[in-house]
């Protein structure tokens, strides 16, 4: 081999080594090259990462290896998922969560309208597990669990430090089995509530003709079937009611669900205006427009019934109808959840919900931790519940049918 040939080979090797390390550096720094070979030709270099992502995971793997030594597969799986639960939970947002497979399935079943459990939406209030709302016709509601109840224990074990996802996993179970919840309502003494789990299958939309041109529509959740059930209810109302002067939308005890279902319902009443605004982390506000032409756009009077269990998508509907069609809100102050989550599912059945934005009413009010204050406040007392009286709905019917 001649000296010149050796130099040429060495230069080639050094060139490839240099390109390799340059590519590695560019990759870990989040830099990409954007090249267009079509006219007009262009070349751009972009850095996708706003900050360094270099993390030394050696300590993590040391702890992992020490933790799984001599453990069985079930324990290792538990450690694996709990590591991700803890990581995401450390962000401090109760609505951002990693969901192990069994929890993610439970939540998916909720939105599909059929699952096994007690039938109650859970939330957090200043770190305390609480009931947002028991679902209509559920074992939870039959057993006396109420919106706003603090849940202090699950089967005798304290809920201090628990996440909503963990609590849901502990409370859910096969139909026919029993769970005991220690609950506290306001300043009342705590009480143990024994609930037999059941198969929860509830239509999310029901309606009634209340006479004198008043259509009452109850929405218990915003799930996978809500749009279809809503459209069926609207079709039935327009076909069966010869006179339609008032529409009453009842979202009491409705913990929310799919944002697009809320928009679909709003579009029944108006279009060409925002159903809500989304605000990202940078403060940029983007309208989600109501575009569909609905059947209730010419209805003269609209009322919305709300309570402390009305959250998220329920508040989107109530806030939009008050802002754009001057609907009157009747009841008590709503829950106050004003954030939007993006849901991603993984191949093993687990998932992650990440808060990606705030939502604002069409008049740009953020209800988070504040709630919507009704135009007419009407309380429901324990005596009303005992006697089967609904003073909130009665007040609406009084307004709709003045003597």
Catalytic residues: 312, 337, 341
Q: Taking Cα atoms as reference points, which of 328, 332, 316, 317 lies closest to residue 146?
A: 332
Kindly compute the dihedral angle of the four CA atoms of residues 65, 70, 76, 80, in this order, to the nearest 10 degrees: -20
Q: How far is it, in rounded angstroms, from Cα 94 to Cα 167?
A: 12
Q: How far is residue 113 from each of residues 44, 97, 109, 349, 397, measured CA to CA in Å?
A: 49, 22, 6, 19, 29
Q: Taking Cα atoms as reference points, which of 207, 165, 123, 210 lies closest to residue 350?
A: 165
Host H or E run for residue 183: strand 178-184
The DSSP call for residue 200 is E
Query: Can you tell me whether residue 392 is helix, strand or coil?
Result: helix
Q: Are 280 and 356 in contact (CB under 8 A)?
A: yes
Helix (H), strand (E) counts: the chain: 11, 21
Q: Taking Cα atoms as reference points, which of 312, 314, 316, 236 lies closest to residue 275?
A: 316
Spatial CB neighbours of 83, under 8 Å, sequence gap ≥ 6:
64
In the 3-class helix/strand/coil scheme, how is 283-332 assigned residue by residue?
Answer: CCEEEEEECCCCCCCCCCEEEEEECCCCCCHHHHHHHHHHHHHCCEEEEC
Q: How many CB atoms lie within 10 A of CB 124?
A: 15
Residues in the chain: 403
Strand partners, 238: none
């Amino acid at each position: 081999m001649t000296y010149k040939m050796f130099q040429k080979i060495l230069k080639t090797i050094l060139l490839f080594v240099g390109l390799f390390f340059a590519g590695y550096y560019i990759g870990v720094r989040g830099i990409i090259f954007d090249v267009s070979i079509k006219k007009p030709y262009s070349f751009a270099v972009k850095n996708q990462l706003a900050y360094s992502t270099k993390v030394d995971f050696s300590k993590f793997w040391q702890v992992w290896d020490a933790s799984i030594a001599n453990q069985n597969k079930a324990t290792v799986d538990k450690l694996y998922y709990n590591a991700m639960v803890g990581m995401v939970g450390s962000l401090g947002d109760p609505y951002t969560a990693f969901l192990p497979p069994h929890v993610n399935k439970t939540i998916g079943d909720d939105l599909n309208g059929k699952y096994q459990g007690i039938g109650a939406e859970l939330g957090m209030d200043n770190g305390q597990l609480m009931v947002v709302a028991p679902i209509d016709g559920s074992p939870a509601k039959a057993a006396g669990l109420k919106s706003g109840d603090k849940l202090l224990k699950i089967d005798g074990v304290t809920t201090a430090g628990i996440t909503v996802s963990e609590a849901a996993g502990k409370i859910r179970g096969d139909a026919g089995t029993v769970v005991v919840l220690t609950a506290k309502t306001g300043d009342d003494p705590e009480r143990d509530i024994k609930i037999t789990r059941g198969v929860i299958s509830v239509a999310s939309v029901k309606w009634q003709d209340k006479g004198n041109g008043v259509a009452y529509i109850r929405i218990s959740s915003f799930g996978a079937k809500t749009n279809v059930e809503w459209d069926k209810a609207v079709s039935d109302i327009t076909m069966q009611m010869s006179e339609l002067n008032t529409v009453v939308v009842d979202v009491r005890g409705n913990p929310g669900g799919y944002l697009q279902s809320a928009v679909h319902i709003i579009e029944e009443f108006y279009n060409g205006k925002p159903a809500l605004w989304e605000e990202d982390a940078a403060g940029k506000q983007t309208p989600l427009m109501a575009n569909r032409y609905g059947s209730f756009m010419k209805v003269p009077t609209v009322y919305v019934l709300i309570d402390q269990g009305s959250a998220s998508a329920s508040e989107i509907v109530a806030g939009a109808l008050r802002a754009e069609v001057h609907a009157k809100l009747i009841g008590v102050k709503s829950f106050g959840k004003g954030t939007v989550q993006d849901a991603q599912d993984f191949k093993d059945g687990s998932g992650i919900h990440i808060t990606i934005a705030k939502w604002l009413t069409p008049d740009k009010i953020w209800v988070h931790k504040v709630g919507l204050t009704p135009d007419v406040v009407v309380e429901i007392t324990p005596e009303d519940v005992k006697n089967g009286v609904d003073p909130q709905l009665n007040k609406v019917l009084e307004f709709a049918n003045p003597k």
